[in-house]
C-alpha cells in the first residue's frame, strides 16, 4: 500500500526509517479508509475502536470525520462524493481526488477493519505517551518546571487517559444475548449459595434490601455533619476490604492518622470489656490501660493485611481521583485481588474544574455525573459522602429527604442508591434544658443510627436501625 502514498507522506515514512519516529500507523489508516470507501459497513465495525482524532495524517483524520458524518446522516460514502466534500488539493505530487481513488482501489475487506482500527488507536496512545514524556523532558531540561509535584500530577493525568482507555474495554457495548446469559449465570450462582452478590455493606438487612453494593453503582451516603457518615463509610469500607478486595478511601477532610485511630477503635471494640477505647482516647494517647494497649496491639495485627488504601489529600479534583482510582485498580490486579470499591469523604470537597467556575449547582452536577461515569468505567461501586445543608434543621422531623439533595446539582438523579443517615441522639444531646421525657428518649436512642434507603434504582426503599457507638466508630445491625 505504501507505493500509493503521496510524495510528502512517502518522504516522511522513508525519513522515519532512519530517525527516531513519532509513533503512527499510516498504512493501517490507509487500509481502513480504503475499506470504508469499498464498503461503509467497515466504518460500523471500526468506530468502537477508533476516533477521528486518533488518525495521524490530517487528511486521513478529515476523511474519517466526513465518513462518520455521512454515515450518521444515512448518506452514501464513495470516493467521488468524498472528493466533492474534501476538495482536490495538492497533497504533494498527487491530488486529494487521486489519493482517495487509490485508497478505494486497494481496499481490504471489512473483516480486517476492527484490527486496523485498533492499530490506529494504539498508535495514537503511543503518541500521547511519547509526546507527554518528550514535553516533560524538554521542560525539565530547560528549567521551565517550578513545582515538580504539580507537573508530575499533570503528566499523570495525561498518561492516565491512555491507561484508562485500556481499562474501559469492559465498558464497551455488549449484545443483549451476552448480557442476559451473564445475568442468569449470576442468578444460578446465587441459587447454589456461593454467589458473590454485590460488595457487602456488612449490615445484613441493608444487604438484603440492596443486594449489596453492586458493580457500577454510584452510592450516596447523605447526612448532616456529625450524623455518622464517616463512621458508616469506614465500617462499610472495612467490611468490603476484608471480604471483597482492595478498597480506596479518598479522605479529603481527615488525615490518615485520624482515620486509622477510628479503624483501631472499631477493631478493638469489645462490648464485653468494661473499658471502651474511643478514637479520641487513642488520639490523646492518654488514659489507656495496659489492657487497652494490648487490645490495640491486637487490632493493629488484625488490620495489617487489610487492603484498605487511604488517600488523605485535600483539594483533589475529580480527574485526580479518577487517575488514582485507576492506579489502585492496577495495583490491586498486580496483587491478584479485585478493586472492590472506592469511597470519597466527602464529595462537597472535591475541587471543581474551572468550567463552571462560581456556579455551584453546575459544579456539583459535573462532579456527580463524573463519579457515576467513574463507577461505570471501573465497573465497581463508588460511594460518595454528601453533607446536607441546613434546610434539614428547619423541619420538625429532621430525617433527611431526597429533596434535600436537590440543592446539590444532579446527585439525586446520578445516584443509583441514596442512603440517608439520622441519629435522634445527636439532636437531643445538643438540646439545652432537656425535659425528663427527652432524657428518657436520649437514654434509649443513645446508640441508635437510622439508615434510610431514600432511593434505589432496582429495589425497595426502606429504613433500618443500627447499633452505633460514634465514639468508637462502631456500627452493627441492631438486634431487634
Ligand X SMILES: Nc1ncnc2c1ncn2[C@@H]1O[C@H](COP(=O)(O)OP(=O)(O)OP(=O)(O)O)[C@@H](O)[C@H]1O
Nearer to ligand X, 67 or 371 (CB): 371
Kindly state the smallest distance separating residue 317's Cβ from ligand X, in Å: 21
Per DSSP, helices labelled H in 311-359 are: 318-334
Kindly state the smallest distance separating residue 434's Cβ from ligand X, in Å: 16
Nearer to ligand X, 266 or 325 (CB): 266
Contact (CB, 8 A) for 286 and 321: no
Nearer to ligand X, 204 or 287 (CB): 287
Nearer to ligand X, 261 or 366 (CB): 261
Nearer to ligand X, 77 or 350 (CB): 350
Nearer to ligand X, 85 or 276 (CB): 276
Longest dimension (CA), the chain: 97
Contact (CB, 8 A) for 163 and 328: no
Find how far residue 81's CA is from the centre of its chain: 43
Site string for ligand X, 204-223 (x = CB under 6 A): -------------------x
**21 DSSP assignment:** P
Residue-wise over 254-269: b if at least 16 C-beta within 10 A, else e? beeebbbbbbbbbbbb
369 CB-near residues (< 8 Å, 6+ apart):
410, 414
Contact (CB, 8 A) for 338 and 244: yes
CA distance 235 to 308: 11
Per DSSP, helices labelled H in 47-170 are: 58-72, 79-86, 96-105, 113-141, 148-167
Nearer to ligand X, 456 or 473 (CB): 473
Question: Across the beta sheet with 246-251, what order do the strands follow?
Answer: 308-311, 246-251, 339-345, 382-387, 218-223, 417-422, 448-456, 462-469, 474-477
Residues 443-472 within binding reach of ligand X (CB under 6 A): 470-471
Residues 392-421 within binding reach of ligand X (CB under 6 A): none
Nearer to ligand X, 94 or 347 (CB): 347
Kindly state the smallest distance separating residue 366's Cβ from ligand X, in Å: 22
Nearer to ligand X, 48 or 438 (CB): 438
Kindly state the smallest distance separating residue 447's Cβ from ligand X, in Å: 11
Q: Is 426 in the site for ligand X (CB under 6 A)?
A: yes
Q: According to CB under 6 A, which one of 39, 387, 447, 465 is a site residue for ligand X?
A: 387
CA distance 309 to 248: 5
With left for phi above 0 and alpha for psi between -120 and 50, is residue 265 left, alpha or beta?
alpha
Residues 63-122 within binding reach of ligand X (CB under 6 A): none
Look up cell 459535573; give the residue.
366
Kindly state the smallest distance separating residue 231's Cβ from ligand X, in Å: 4
Contact (CB, 8 A) for 329 and 312: no
CA distance 29 to 61: 9
Nearer to ligand X, 228 or 381 (CB): 228
CA angle 293, 297, 300 (to 5 degrees): 135
Find how far residue 271's CA is from the centre of its chain: 37
Kindly state the smallest distance separating residue 345's Cβ from ligand X, in Å: 7
Phi, psi of 99 (to 5 degrees): -60, -45
8 CB-near residues (< 8 Å, 6+ apart):
91, 92, 93
Kindly state the smallest distance separating residue 361's Cβ from ligand X, in Å: 21
Nearer to ligand X, 211 or 442 (CB): 442
Kindly state the smallest distance separating residue 300's Cβ from ligand X, in Å: 20
Kindly state the smallest distance separating residue 348's Cβ from ligand X, in Å: 9
How many residues of this chain bind ligand X (CB under 6 A)? 14
Nearer to ligand X, 208 or 225 (CB): 225
Kindly state the smallest distance separating residue 308's Cβ from ligand X, in Å: 16
Burial of 86 (0-12, 13-18, 19+ CB in 10 A): middle
Cis peptide upstream of residue 425 (ω within 30 degrees of 0): no
Nearer to ligand X, 326 or 346 (CB): 346
Kindly state the smallest distance separating residue 238's Cβ from ligand X, in Å: 13
Kindly state the smallest distance separating residue 471's Cβ from ligand X, in Å: 3
Site string for ligand X, 187-206 (x = CB under 6 A): --------------------
Kindly state the smallest distance separating residue 370's Cβ from ligand X, in Å: 22
38 CB-near residues (< 8 Å, 6+ apart):
104, 107, 108, 109, 110
Residues 246-265 within binding reach of ligand X (CB under 6 A): none
Q: How many CB atoms lie within 10 A of CB 244?
A: 22
Residues 220-239 within binding reach of ligand X (CB under 6 A): 223, 225-231
Q: Give contact residues for ligand X (rule: CB under 6 A).
A: 223, 225-231, 278, 280, 387, 426, 470-471
Amino acid at each position: 500500500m505504501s507505493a500509493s502514498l503521496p510524495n510528502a507522506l512517502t518522504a516522511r515514512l522513508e525519513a522515519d526509517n532512519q530517525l527516531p519516529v513519532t509513533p503512527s500507523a499510516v498504512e493501517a489508516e490507509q487500509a481502513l479508509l480504503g475499506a470504508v470507501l469499498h464498503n461503509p459497513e467497515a466504518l460500523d465495525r471500526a468506530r468502537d475502536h477508533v476516533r477521528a482524532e486518533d488518525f495521524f495524517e490530517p487528511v486521513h483524520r478529515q476523511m474519517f470525520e466526513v465518513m462518520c458524518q455521512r454515515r450518521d446522516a444515512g448518506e452514501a460514502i464513495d470516493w467521488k462524493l468524498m472528493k466533492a466534500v474534501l476538495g482536490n488539493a495538492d497533497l504533494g505530487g498527487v491530488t486529494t481526488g487521486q489519493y482517495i481513488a487509490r485508497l478505494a482501489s486497494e481496499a481490504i475487506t471489512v473483516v480486517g477493519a476492527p484490527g486496523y482500527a485498533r492499530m490506529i488507536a494504539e498508535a495514537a496512545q503511543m503518541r500521547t505517551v511519547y509526546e507527554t514524556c518528550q514535553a516533560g523532558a524538554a521542560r525539565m531540561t530547560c528549567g521551565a518546571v517550578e513545582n515538580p509535584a504539580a507537573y508530575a500530577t499533570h503528566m499523570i493525568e495525561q498518561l492516565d487517559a491512555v491507561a484508562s482507555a485500556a481499562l474501559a474495554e469492559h465498558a464497551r457495548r455488549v449484545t443483549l444475548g451476552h448480557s442476559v446469559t451473564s445475568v442468569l449465570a449470576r442468578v444460578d450462582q446465587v441459587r447454589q449459595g456461593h454467589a458473590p452478590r454485590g460488595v457487602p455493606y456488612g449490615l445484613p438487612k441493608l444487604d438484603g434490601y440492596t443486594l449489596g453494593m453492586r458493580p457500577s453503582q454510584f452510592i450516596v451516603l447523605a447526612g448532616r455533619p456529625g450524623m455518622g457518615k464517616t463512621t458508616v463509610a469506614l465500617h462499610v469500607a472495612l467490611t468490603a476490604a476484608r471480604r471483597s478486595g482492595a478498597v480506596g478511601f479518598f479522605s479529603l477532610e481527615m488525615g490518615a492518622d485520624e482515620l486509622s485511630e477510628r479503624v483501631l477503635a472499631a477493631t478493638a471494640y469489645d462490648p464485653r470489656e468494661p473499658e471502651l477505647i474511643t478514637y479520641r482516647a487513642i488520639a490523646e494517647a492518654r488514659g489507656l490501660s495496659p489492657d487497652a494497649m494490648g487490645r490495640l496491639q491486637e487490632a493493629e495485627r488484625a488490620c495489617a493485611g487489610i487492603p484498605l488504601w487511604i488517600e488523605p489529600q485535600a483539594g483533589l479534583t475529580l480527574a485526580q481521583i479518577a487517575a488514582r482510582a485507576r492506579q489502585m485498580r492496577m495495583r490491586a490486579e498486580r496483587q491478584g485481588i479485585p478493586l472492590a470499591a472506592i469511597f470519597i469523604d466527602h464529595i462537597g470537597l472535591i475541587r471543581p474544574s474551572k468550567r463552571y467556575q462560581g456556579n455551584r449547582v453546575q459544579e456539583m452536577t459535573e462532579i456527580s455525573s463524573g463519579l457515576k461515569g467513574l463507577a461505570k468505567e471501573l465497573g465497581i461501586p463508588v460511594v460518595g459522602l454528601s453533607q446536607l445543608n441546613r434546610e434539614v434543621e428547619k423541619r420538625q422531623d429532621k430525617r433527611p429527604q431526597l429533596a434535600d439533595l436537590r440543592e446539590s446539582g444532579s446527585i439525586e438523579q446520578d445516584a443509583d442508591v441514596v442512603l440517608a443517615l439520622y441519629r435522634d441522639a445527636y439532636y437531643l444531646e445538643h438540646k439545652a434544658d432537656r425535659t425528663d421525657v427527652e432524657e428518657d428518649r436520649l437514654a434509649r436512642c443513645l446508640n441508635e443510627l437510622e439508615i434510610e434507603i431514600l432511593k434505589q434504582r432496582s429495589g425497595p426503599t426502606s429504613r433500618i436501625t443500627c447499633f452505633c457507638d460514634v465514639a468508637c466508630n462502631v456500627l452493627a445491625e441492631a438486634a431487634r
